[in-house]
Amino acid sequence: MASLNKVMIIGNLGADPEMRYTANGSAVTEFRVAASDSWTDQSGERRERTEWFTVITWNRLAETCAQYLAKGRQVYVEGRLQTRSWDGQDGQKHYKTEVIAETVRFLGSRDDRGGGGAYAQPLPVGADAAGDLEADDLPF
3-state secondary structure 41-57: CCCCCEEEEEEEEEEEE
Q: How confident is the model at residue 111 (pLDDT cuts 50, 70, 90)?
A: low
> What does the radius of gyration of the chain's CA atoms come to, in whole angstroms?
17
Q: What is the mean pLDDT of residues 35-42?
A: 94
13-28 tens-digit pLDDT: 999 999 999 999 999 9
User: CATH classification of 7-36+48-122 is 3.40.80.10, yes or no?
Assistant: no
